[in-house]
Amino acid sequence: MGDKMDLAVDVVALKGTYEQVGFKQGQDWKRDERIEFTQEMTKHCDVNETKSRLMEYMPFLLEELKGVAAGLGMKEDMAIRMFSGFDVTFPQMGCTAFASETFYVRNYDFSPELYDARFVFCNPDDGYASVGFSQQMIGRLDGMNEKGLIVGLHLVNERHHRTGFLGTTIVRMILDQCATIQDAVHLLQNIPHGYCYNYSIMDRSGESVVIEASPNHQVVRSQNQVMCTNHFEMDVLRENNRPEISQSKTRLNHLEHLPKQKLTPLLAYQLFNEEESPFFFKDYQEYFGTMHTVVYDPMNLSVTVGIGGDCEPFEFSLKGWVVGDIELPNVINGVFDFSR
């Protein structure tokens, strides 16, 4: 593989009915080499139960998956099993997020082998427009919608598992259906969770919270400025943490110094994206290398993105895209350094 790897992240624009959105994604899907891996991850999924749960909580995604199946030339049941995010096994990942009163910044840590490499602008007819990084096609790792609601996921423990939805599908639900933190909290407390995740959330009012969510409990942790990594802090949920959380705690300790620095969005991007930063990692072969840095601005509906480390930021406007004032590039390029 060498010490460095180039990666082009596709910039995807989706508009129309949910079925049309799904069909375009199915047609354009380029990650054929991951089909077998995805099938293995989802082999225990009960399609009938998945359909029932989707109809109960997110029927719009069932329509999207119908379109995905048609676009891929795949049976609908197979597309539902592979891309719904219901009853899925998943390797561990890491994420670090900080939210001030005016912006939200985050690094997502994983592996290029399993990364969708898709930055998606989506404006469905019956849901809120949003922008964010996809996972398993229809899911989102993080994102911001037209109401200025921002959400990112942080996997806490992949070993505590129950039949339920993957965090990436839940993030997508929030972006499409929720306008405020209160909406998001209500949704998170009323759906079946498959794993233990933190959800860091901010809305246009400047309010921010962390929702600590296990399959059994969901607890709201309010903070003036969100600082979130990959472990639970609330007493009722700490037993769900991984046995070793020292690295997650170390990152959290570094975050606690940020409020004193009076960061601007650009300074926050630079701090998180620098390869020497305490928030940046190169453990790509252990599923813990920084894939992207992103800053969301809920007031301006702008987003700043970097793929890999030490890269010039790419800037986008969700509002500008929705009203048709801007054209999107086809890709965002980045470089990953595998040396340590």
Tens of pLDDT along the chain (340 residues) come to 458 899 999 999 999 999 999 999 999 986 665 666 666 666 677 899 999 999 999 999 999 999 999 999 999 999 999 999 998 876 677 899 999 999 999 999 999 988 999 999 999 999 999 999 999 999 999 999 999 999 999 999 988 889 999 999 999 999 999 999 999 999 999 999 999 999 999 999 999 999 999 999 999 998 788 999 999 999 999 999 999 999 999 999 999 999 999 899 999 999 999 999 999 999 998 888 999 999 999 999 999 999 999 999 999 999 999 999 999 999 999 999 887 6
In a domain, 236, yes or no: yes
Global pTM value: 0.95
Q: Does residue 202 belong to any structural domain of this protein?
A: yes
Does 9 fall in a domain? no
Q: Per residue, what are the HEC states of 159-199? A: CCCCCCECHHHHHHHHHHHCCCHHHHHHHHCCCCECCEEEE
Cα angle 232, 233, 236; round to 5: 85
Give the range of the structural domain holding residue 203, as residue numbers without chain letter. 89-322
Question: Is 153 inside any structural domain?
Answer: yes
Buried (b) or exposed (e) across 304-325, using 16+ Cβ within 10 A? bbbbbbebebbebbbeebbeee
Sign of CA dihedral 51, 52, 55, 58: negative
Q: Kindly state whether residue 334 falls inside one of the protein's structural domains.
A: no
CA 266 to chain centre: 21
Decide if 280 is inside a domain. yes
Phi, psi (rounded to 5 degrees) for 175:
-60, -40
For the domain that residue 225 is a member of, what is the CATH number? 3.60.60.10
Residues whose CB is less than 8 angstroms from the CB of residue 46 and which lie 6 or more positions away in sequence, other chains included: 87
Let me know if residue 3 belongs to a domain.
no
* Total number of domains constituting the chain: 1
| 290 within a domain of the structure (yes/no) | yes
Q: What is the pLDDT of residue 34?
A: 61
